[in-house]
Amino acid sequence: MTTALIFVDSPVGAFGVEGTAAGVTRVHLPNQFVAPLDAKPAPVLRRAAQQLAQYLEGRRRDFDVTLAPLAGTDFQRDVWKALEEIPFGEVRTYGDVAIAVGRPLAMRAVGNANHANPVPVFIPCHRVVASTGLGGYGGGEAVKRHLLALEGVTY
């Protein structure tokens, strides 16, 4: 299958939605270099990029996108599933997510699983914060703050 990429502009930079006809395979955050691809995007990818644009404009709270099967360990997939359960406008700590996946001492491993999340925003790892503050984010603190602010959360 041919992989295509669509860029979605935002006030904090361009997000890249990458995928095939099978679904979204990756979301590239602003501040992450990604080379443009010339392939024509499949309808499923155009739909995902449209929904991301609506979210970034404050006009969407939930996503109905097709994700391609995501590669990850069992633990990573458990964490990603737990992230999908965090409602719009709410946050959880790394410790909360560790407890949710049955590994209460695995806060750092939860952070690593968040960092490995191939489809941020669609699987909302930005909703996970440190017990002492904002915590890290692959796209940088400004991007994480912006995404949380879109949902009415300030940090």
Helix (H, G, I), strand (E, B) or coil at 23: strand
At residue 25, what are phi and psi to the nearest 5 degrees? Answer: -105, -25
CATH architecture of residue range(s) 74-150: Orthogonal Bundle (1.10)
pLDDT score, position 58: 95
Q: What is the pLDDT of residues 83-127, one digit of tens each?
A: 999 999 999 999 999 999 999 999 999 999 999 999 999 999 999
Would you tell me the crossing angle of helices 107-116 and 74-84 to the nearest 10 degrees?
Answer: 80
Q: Where are the domains of the chain?
A: 4-56, 74-150
- Indicate if 125 belongs to the active site: yes
Task: Answer left, alpha or beta for residue 4, where phi above 0 means left and psi between -120 and 50 means alpha.
Answer: beta
Question: 125, 128, 129, 147: which is the annotated catalytic residue?
Answer: 125
**Residues of the chain with confidence (pLDDT) below 50:** none
pTM here is: 0.94
pLDDT score, position 1: 75
pLDDT score, position 129: 97
Cα angle: 76, vertex 78, 84; to 5 degrees: 105
